[in-house]
Amino acid sequence: MSKTRQGAEACRALPDPVTALTFELPGEHEIPVHSHPEDQLVYACRGVMTVRTQEGTWVVPPLRAVWIPARVPHAVATSGAVSMRTLYLRAGLVRRLRGCRVVNVSPLLRELILHACRLRALTRRKRDQAHLVDAIVDQLDVVESTPLQLPSPADARAARVAEILSADPGGQRSLEEICRAAGASRRTIERLFRSETPMTLGEWRQQLRLLTSLRLLAAGKKITHVALESGYATASAFIAMFRRALGTTPRRYFDDRGPKDATLTPASPPGSRGRAPSSRRAPSPAPAPPRRAARRRARRA
């Protein structure tokens, strides 16, 4: 690997149109900032991941995935144990998706992802694999986005407000007070958030609380605790917000995980050519892959 100008680890290019890897990550695990020359689809079979870039934060609950375009530096953190399935697609193979986003994973797309993970590397030289590549691309061309992102404002004053709110998502300080602490009026901050996120300041704060609640729920916290930590006085008020935002209750949202994946053991690197780059730390404690192979795969998360 090499360093990008932003200081992120830059992974080597993979030779096949689609490469699929599996990872079992412990709770509270962090994968440092890195980038790939391929587009990447990161899918959560189980658990919640948080993906951060300079542009914002994306939270990936079960049965969802995050799309990360090629060469975008990003970091990944887990909330609770995570079963990750990730596809690396040659840049430009999927033309419709632009920018980072969380997408819903249909049952068909889920099975295509899991099947690709069993094969690990897909080439167009084999007819069945070429059809699988086309099917994956077709599904990604019609995938639906879901509003689980938190864009980052660029202006220093707005960024300071975002920093204060993020440090205490459940805090009860008024927005006027927080804006004054950042050195601007609420009217100015509202204008900046609308132009740079684009959300109102109140919508941004509510989205922050929603994403905070997803991470806490994934870590096994009780509903009452999650409600208070997310800024809601009662569990019922929190559940009502959650239902409005995501269309179901927290319990059903995390229980609706579909059939279990029968291939949870992390796979070794695709083929024997060492396509995945080396790493200083492996993301998975699972003993299945050889130690050297696990290190090679770590930065591909």
Q: What is the pLDDT of residues 83-129, one digit of tens each?
A: 999 999 999 999 889 899 999 999 999 999 999 999 999 999 999 99
Task: State the virtual CA torsion across 11, 12, 16, 21 in degrees, nearest 10.
Answer: -40
Confidence (pLDDT) at 268: 35
Structural domain contains residue 230: yes
Confidence (pLDDT) at 105: 93
Residue matched to tokens 């149109």: 17
Confidence (pLDDT) at 219: 84
Q: Per residue in 15-57, pLDDT tens?
A: 999 999 999 999 989 999 999 999 999 998 888 999 999 999 9
- Co-location of 7 and 93 in the same domain: yes
Calpha distance 258→269 (Å, rounded): 27
> Does the pLDDT at position 284 exceed 60?
no
Confidence (pLDDT) at 6: 52
- Co-location of 144 and 160 in the same domain: no
Task: State the virtual CA torsion across 2, 283, 35, 111 in degrees, nearest 10.
Answer: 140
- Co-location of 28 and 139 in the same domain: yes
Spatial CA neighbour of 263 closest among 80, 61, 105, 120:
120
- Co-location of 114 and 233 in the same domain: no
- Co-location of 102 and 185 in the same domain: no
Question: Would you place residue 7 in the very low, low, confident or very high pLDDT band (cuts 50, 70, 90)?
Answer: low
Tally of domains within the chain: 2
Query: What CATH number is associated with residue 69?
Result: 2.60.120.280
- Co-location of 141 and 12 in the same domain: yes
Structural domain contains residue 117: yes
Mean pLDDT of 65-79: 95
**Residue 34 belongs to domain spanning:** 2-148
> Does the pLDDT at position 5 exceed 60?
no
- Co-location of 47 and 105 in the same domain: yes
Confidence (pLDDT) at 279: 32
Residues 6+ apart with CB under 8 A from 33: 6, 7, 8, 9, 73, 74, 75
Spatial CA neighbour of 274 closest among 15, 4, 88:
15
Say how many C-beta atoms besides its own lie within 10 A of residue 198's C-beta: 11
Mean pLDDT of 67-90: 94
Bridge-partner residues for 43, per DSSP? 65, 85
> Does the pLDDT at position 11 exceed 70?
yes
Confidence (pLDDT) at 271: 31
Last residue of a domain, one of 98, 131, 148: 148
Calpha distance 138→251 (Å, rounded): 32
Cα angle at 297 between 220 and 127, to 5 degrees?
105
Q: Is 65 helix (H, G, I), strand (E, B) or coil?
A: strand
Mean pLDDT for the chain?
Answer: 84
- Co-location of 192 and 130 in the same domain: no
Residue matched to tokens 């440090």: 167
Confidence (pLDDT) at 220: 87
59-68, 137-146, 278-287 — which is least confidently predicted?
A: 278-287
- Co-location of 162 and 91 in the same domain: no
Query: What percentage of the chain has pLDDT greater than the value 70?
Result: 82
Mean pLDDT of 254-267: 49
> Does the pLDDT at position 270 exceed 70?
no
Query: What CATH number is associated with residue 244?
Result: 1.10.10.60
Integer CA distances (angstroms), 63 to 85, 233, 271, in order: 11, 29, 28
Confidence (pLDDT) at 156: 96
Structural domain contains residue 288: no
Residue matched to tokens 């790939």: 36
Integer CA distances (angstroms), 105 to 43, 53, 204, in order: 8, 22, 25
Structural domain contains residue 299: no
Q: Is 225 helix (H, G, I), strand (E, B) or coil?
A: helix
Local structure of residue 278 (DSSP, 8 states): P
Residue matched to tokens 């959560």: 44
12-16, 165-169, 224-228, 293-297 — which is least confidently predicted?
A: 293-297
Confidence (pLDDT) at 274: 33
- Co-location of 189 and 243 in the same domain: yes
Calpha distance 144→273 (Å, rounded): 35
Mean pLDDT of 210-220: 91
Confidence (pLDDT) at 276: 34
